[in-house]
C-alpha cells in the first residue's frame, strides 16, 4: 500500500476540484461553509461549479501548463468525476496531494478491473466475463447465459455504453454498434431492489457510513432515492460492511459510493456489488437536508485532513431528481411542505440531463407527506 501525502488544511486554504458539474458545485458550497476556498478546473465554460467559486480554470485536461498553474494555486486536489485522465492526475500528483489517490481511478475507471477487485475481496458480484470481439461475446454467452448485459469497460454512465441481450440475434451487429474493443458481459440480475452506501474514510482510517439508500432508476438514470432503504437491519449492516471493506482495501480518502443489487436467496436476500463510484454520488444528495452532515461536507473534511462527522439522519427522506424537462416543475416544488429545491444553474434542459433535485424530509406525525407536483 503506498503512503498517502499528509494533508491538514486550515480555514482559508484552497481546494482544487477537477470537474465543474453539479457535484463540484455542491462540494465547493460545502467547503465554503467550513471557511475553505475552492478553485474549479473544467474544460466547459458553462460549468455549473464556476458560478460558486472565485477562481476557475477553464482548460482542457490535456493542457499541461494550465494543470501546473492550477496545482500551484491550490493546497490539495480532488475530483468530482471518475474519468479523470491518468496523465492529468499524474501531472497534478507530482505537485500537490491528489485525494482520493489516483491509483483508485485505475481500478474504478475499468469495469473489469473493478469487478476483479471486488471479487478478490470475497464480495459478491453478478457473474461476468471479459469480451473483446464478437467471437468472445459468443463464448461469454455460452458460459454465463442469457439474458445478460453487455457494457463497455470504460466511460459508461447512466446506462450509456450498455446493451441488454435477450437472445443471440445479430451479435456481430450488436458488437459493432458498441464501438469498443473492450467490454464486459454480466448476468442480467433480477434484483428485488437497488441500494447504495455512501461511505467516507479519512487518511487515518476513520470510516463513517450514511444510512443505506434505496434507489429507483428510470431509463437507467437515477430518479428517486429513499433513506433508509426498506431492508432488514442485518442486511443494512452487511451493506455498510461491504462499503467499509472496499474503502479500506483502496486505502481510500474521501467519499465513495457503492451501488448494490438486493437479490432473493435461499437463505434470505443477498447483496451483489454493481458499481463503485470514487466520488460523491447522486444517491447521497438526500444528506444535504436529511442528515446532520452532508456527503459533500464529509468529503471535504476527509480530503482536508479533518475529523469526519458522525452523520445522523433526521427522519425518513426522499430525493427526487429533476431530469430534463422536469426542471419546469420547480415552481410547484417550491410550495410543497417540507421540500427543499436544489437547482444546478444549467442551461438548456436536454433529455436525461440532471438539472436539479428536491429533497423531502418526513418527520413522524406530519400530515400529507406524499404531496408533490
Ligand atoms: P451501471 O451503469 O452499471 O450503474 O448500470 C445502470 C443501471 O442499469 C443499474 O443501476 C441497473 O438498474 C441496471 N443494470 C446494470 N447492470 C445490470 C445487471 N447486470 N443486471 C440488471 N440490471 C443492471
Q: Which of 289, 290, 311 is nearest to 299 (CA)?
A: 311
Using CA atoms, how far residue 89 sits from 92, 156, 314, in Å, is 5, 20, 37
Which of 185, 220, 222, 273 to mutate to test ligand 1, by most ligand atoms within 8 A of the CB atom?
220
* Residue 260 Cα to ligand 1 middle (Å): 9
Euclidean distance between CA atoms 275 and 186, whole angstroms: 12
Tens-level pLDDT at each residue, the chain (373 residues):
557 778 999 999 999 999 999 999 999 999 999 999 999 999 999 999 999 999 999 999 999 999 999 999 999 999 999 999 999 999 999 999 999 999 999 999 999 999 999 999 999 999 999 999 999 999 999 999 999 999 999 987 767 789 999 988 889 999 999 888 899 999 999 999 999 999 999 999 999 999 999 999 999 899 999 999 999 999 999 999 999 999 999 999 999 999 999 999 999 999 999 999 999 999 999 999 999 999 999 999 999 999 999 999 999 999 999 999 999 999 999 999 889 999 999 999 999 999 999 999 998 776 555 556 6
Instruction: Give the mutation target among 159, 217, 277 for probing the ligand 1 site: most ligand atoms within 8 A of CB.
Output: 159
Instruction: Show Cβ contacts of residue 30 under 8 Å, excluding neighbours closer than 6 positions.
Output: 294, 296, 297, 299, 300
CATH of region 127-187, choose from 3.30.1490.20, 3.40.50.2000, 3.50.50.60, 1.20.1250.20? 3.30.1490.20
Our answer on whether the CB atom of 326 is closer than 6 Å to any ligand 1 atom is: no
Residues in the chain: 373
175-192: b or e for each residue (b if 16 or more CB lie within 10 Å)?
beebebeebbbbbbbebe
Separation of CA 141 from chain center: 29
Give the pLDDT score at 367: 55
Of 254, 320, 340, the closest CA to residue 82 belongs to 254
Q: Identify the residue whose cell numbers are 443489487.
A: 261
CATH number of 193-361: 3.30.470.20
124 CA from centroid of ligand 1 (Å):
15
> Which pLDDT score is estimated for 1?
53
pLDDT of amino acid 209: 98
> Does the Cβ of 10 fall within 6 Å of ligand 1?
no
pLDDT on residue 372? 64
The CA–CA distances, whole Å, from 287 to 36, 75, 148, 208, 281 equal: 20, 27, 34, 13, 11
C-alpha cell at 209: 457510513
Is domain 14-98 classified as CATH 3.40.50.970? Answer: no
Q: Residue 84: its pLDDT value, please?
A: 93
- Residue 275, ligand 1, Cβ within 6 A: yes
Confirm or reject: Cβ of 189 under 6 Å from ligand 1. Answer: yes
Q: Residue 200: helix, strand or coil by DSSP?
A: strand
pLDDT at 22: 98
Cis omega (within 30 of 0) for bond into 228: yes
Strand partners, 142: none
Contact 229, 240 (CB under 8 A): no
159 lines ligand 1 (CB under 6 A): yes
Q: 153 alpha carbon to ligand 1 midpoint, in Å?
A: 13
- 274 close to ligand 1 (CB < 6 Angstrom): yes
pLDDT recorded at residue 12: 98
338 CA to centre of ligand 1 in angstroms: 31
What pTM value is reported for the model? Answer: 0.95
- Taking the domains of the chain in order of start, what are their residue ranges? 14-98, 127-187, 193-361
CA–CA separation, 307 and 225 (whole Å): 27
Q: For position 156, what pLDDT does the model report?
A: 73
Amino acid at each position: 500500500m503506498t503512503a498517502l501525502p499528509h494533508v491538514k488544511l486550515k480555514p482559508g486554504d484552497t481546494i482544487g476540484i477537477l470537474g465543474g458539474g453539479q457535484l463540484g458545485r455542491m462540494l465547493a458550497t460545502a467547503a465554503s461553509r467550513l471557511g475553505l476556498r475552492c478553485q474549479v478546473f473544467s474544460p466547459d465554460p458553462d460549468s455549473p461549479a464556476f458560478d460558486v467559486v472565485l477562481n476557475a480554470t477553464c482548460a482542457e485536461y490535456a493542457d499541461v501548463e494550465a494543470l501546473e498553474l492550477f496545482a500551484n494555486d491550490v493546497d490539495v486536489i480532488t475530483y468530482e468525476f471518475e474519468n479523470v485522465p491518468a496523465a492529468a492526475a499524474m501531472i497534478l500528483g507530482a505537485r500537490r496531494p491528489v485525494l482520493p489517490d489516483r491509483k483508485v481511478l485505475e481500478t474504478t475507471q475499468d469495469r473489469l478491473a473493478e469487478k476483479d477487485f471486488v471479487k478478490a475481496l470475497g464480495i459478491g458480484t453478478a457473474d461476468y466475463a471479459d469480451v473483446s470481439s464478437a467471437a468472445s461475446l459468443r463464448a461469454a454467452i455460452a458460459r454465463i447465459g442469457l439474458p445478460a448485459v453487455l457494457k463497455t469497460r470504460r466511460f459508461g454512465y447512466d446506462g450509456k455504453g450498455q446493451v441488454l441481450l435477450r437472445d443471440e440475434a445479430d451479435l456481430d451487429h450488436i458488437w459493432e454498434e458498441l464501438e469498443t474493443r473492450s467490454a464486459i458481459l454480466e448476468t442480467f440480475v433480477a434484483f428485488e431492489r437497488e441500494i447504495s452506501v455512501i461511505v467516507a474514510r479519512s487518511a487515518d482510517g476513520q470510516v463513517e457510513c450514511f444510512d443505506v439508500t434505496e434507489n429507483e432508476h428510470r431509463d437507467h438514470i437515477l430518479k428517486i432515492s429513499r433513506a433508509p432503504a426498506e431492508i432488514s437491519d442485518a442486511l443494512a449492516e452487511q451493506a455498510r460492511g461491504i462499503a467499509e471493506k472496499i474503502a479500506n482495501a483502496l486505502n481510500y480518502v474521501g467519499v465513495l459510493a457503492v451501488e448494490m443489487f438486493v437479490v432473493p436467496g435461499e437463505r434470505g436476500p443477498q447483496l451483489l456489488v454493481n458499481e463503485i463510484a470514487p466520488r460523491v454520488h447522486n444517491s447521497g444528495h438526500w444528506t444535504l437536508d436529511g442528515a446532520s452532515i452532508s456527503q459533500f461536507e464529509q468529503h471535504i473534511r476527509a480530503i482536508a485532513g479533518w475529523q469526519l462527522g458522525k452523520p445522523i439522519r433526521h427522519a425518513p427522506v426522499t430525493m427526487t431528481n429533476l431530469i430534463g424537462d422536469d426542471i419546469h416543475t420547480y415552481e410547484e416544488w417550491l410550495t410543497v411542505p417540507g421540500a427543499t429545491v436544489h437547482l444546478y444553474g444549467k442551461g438548456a434542459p436536454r433529455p436525461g440531463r440532471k438539472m436539479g433535485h428536491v429533497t423531502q424530509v418526513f418527520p413522524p406525525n406530519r400530515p400529507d407527506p406524499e404531496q408533490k407536483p
